[in-house]
Amino acid sequence: MRRPFRSGMASMMQLRLLCKVVVKANDLARRKDGTINRWLADVCERKVPANPKPIKGVHTVDVTIDPEAGVWVRLFIPTEETVETPSKSASNDTQIESNKTMPIVYYYHGGGFTILCPDFYLYDVFCRRLAKCCKSVVISLHYRRAPEFKFPTAYDDSFKGLEWLQSEKATASLPLNVDFSRVFLCGDSAGANIAYHMALQSARKDLGRVSLKGVVIIQGFFGGEERTPAELRLKNVPLVSVESLDWYWKSYLPKGSNRDHPACNIFGPNSSDLSDVSLPPFLNIVGGLDILQDWEMRFAEGLQKAGKQVQTIFYEEGIHTFALLNQAKVGPKMFLDVAAFINSH
């Protein structure tokens, strides 16, 4: 594990204010009976359309995968200049060739399985930055959300998106120089949970030309019936609370299930043995001010015990979804760490 990376406290005050606004909006949309005011939740999310004109070196395109289910993706495609222009310090023999292929980063957004979407402005900015930093095509998927669509709908829709990569429509929608043999799954919070389960499903099915090279888990939304030390210790941290996370799990998991369901408690009493399951390497991002950190560390420990390759980076002052909120210093640092992981595989 790398040494923690510290950030300034001035930015934390701004983030706390932003998080209070987000939490208030979510509280208004969530009902005590476990349902959600979908109209209000959507109104609170500022959405931006796809833009064929490059913004900060990346243009975007929306593509429908399943019109009946409402499953679609937003493609974040770096421009030729973004991909090919070398740094000022690069020598001629290290310049990126014009025919250099780009890996694919398949991204699953967070939101407790119930809110947010790829065209939410923060995710549009985040995935645009991810595409540019990693010199990759980023595919951000919209899956059906709970509580209207409970487990396993988000997983089913997300895997449908992976299977779409084998189609002629995917070939026609993506740049000619994408590398289907270098696909990385990535997500934050609930999206990180989805990315893990997609890796698990992919190990048991034939994805044809699609080859998974790695999985990036950004502050994974995992849990269990037990209350961990971090959940008990960290009070009034930005954005999330134990109570809100319990509500999100109740909205997604099957009726009558508790948080030891294997979708939630990855290495809990009801989980299956992974020893004989072939999984790609994992990068595990953990925040020191995230009440989920103990579950995220246990996730890494479970992978290691099962003989899987996992690298954990702990950002001591990172709040939940700190990269999406662009928390000073730790946010930019995370993009560099993710790019390094992708470049090394």
pLDDT for 178: 97
Q: Is residue 74 part of a domain?
A: yes
What gap in Å lies between CA 200 and CA 177, rounded to an integer? 27
Per-residue pLDDT of the chain in tens (345 residues, 90 and over written 9) = 444 444 444 356 677 777 777 788 888 889 888 899 999 999 888 999 999 999 989 999 999 999 999 999 999 999 875 554 333 333 333 333 345 899 999 999 999 999 999 999 999 999 999 999 999 999 999 999 999 999 999 999 999 999 999 999 999 999 999 999 999 999 999 999 999 999 999 999 999 999 999 999 999 999 999 999 999 999 888 889 999 999 999 999 999 999 999 999 999 999 999 999 999 999 999 999 999 999 999 999 999 999 999 999 999 999 999 999 989 889 999 999 999 999 999
What gap in Å lies between CA 223 and CA 200, rounded to an integer? 18
Question: How many domains does the structure of the chain reveal?
Answer: 1
Angle at CA of residue 133, ends 184 and 210, nearest 5°? 20
pLDDT for 100: 84
The answer to whether residue 27 is catalytic is no
Using an 8 Å Cβ cutoff, are 74 and 118 in contact?
yes
The answer to whether residue 93 is catalytic is no
Using an 8 Å Cβ cutoff, are 166 and 202 in contact?
no
Which sign, positive or negative, has the C-alpha torsion 333, 343, 64, 206?
negative
Amino acid found at 272 = S
Amino acid found at 210 = V
Going by C-alpha positions, the residue among 119, 126, 128 that lies closest to residue 82 is: 128
Please give the backbone phi and psi of residue 23, each rounded to the nearest 5 degrees, phi first: -65, -40
> Which CATH number belongs to the domain containing residue 316 in this structure?
3.40.50.1820
Share of the chain above pLDDT 90, in %: 78
Using an 8 Å Cβ cutoff, are 37 and 29 in contact?
yes
Going by C-alpha positions, the residue among 61, 36, 56 that lies closest to residue 132 is: 56
What gap in Å lies between CA 292 and CA 206, rounded to an integer? 33
For the whole model, what pTM was predicted? 0.91
pLDDT for 50: 98
Q: Is residue 330 part of a domain?
A: yes
Q: Is residue 321 part of a domain?
A: yes
pLDDT for 44: 87
Whole domain around residue 152: which residue ranges?
10-80+101-344
pLDDT for 82: 56
**255 CB-near residues (< 8 Å, 6+ apart):** 150
pLDDT for 262: 97
pLDDT for 12: 64
Tokens of 228: 């961990």
Q: Is residue 61 part of a domain?
A: yes
Amino acid found at 309 = Q
pLDDT for 11: 58
Q: pLDDT (tens digit, 9 = 90+) per residue, 63-81?
A: 999 999 999 999 999 987 5
Q: Using DSSP, state whether 73 is helix, strand or coil.
A: strand
What gap in Å lies between CA 103 and CA 81, rounded to an integer? 16
| Span between the terminal Cα atoms of the chain, in Å | 18
What gap in Å lies between CA 319 and CA 289, rounded to an integer? 5
Neighbours of 63 (CB within 10 A): 16
Q: pLDDT (tens digit, 9 = 90+) per residue, 268-321?
A: 999 999 999 999 999 999 999 999 999 999 999 999 999 999 999 999 999 999
**86 CB-near residues (< 8 Å, 6+ apart):** 94, 95, 96
Catalytic member of 119, 157, 188, 290: 290
Q: Is residue 25 part of a domain?
A: yes
Catalytic member of 189, 251, 294, 337: 189
What gap in Å lies between CA 341 and CA 345, rounded to an integer? 7
Q: Is residue 89 part of a domain?
A: no
Longest C-alpha distance within the chain, in Å?
A: 63
Q: Is residue 85 part of a domain?
A: no
Q: Is residue 36 part of a domain?
A: yes
Tokens of 285: 């991002």
Q: pLDDT (tens digit, 9 = 90+) per residue, 89-116?
A: 333 333 333 458 999 999 999 999 999 9
Using an 8 Å Cβ cutoff, are 137 and 77 in contact?
yes
Helices and strands (DSSP H and E) totals, the chain: 11, 8
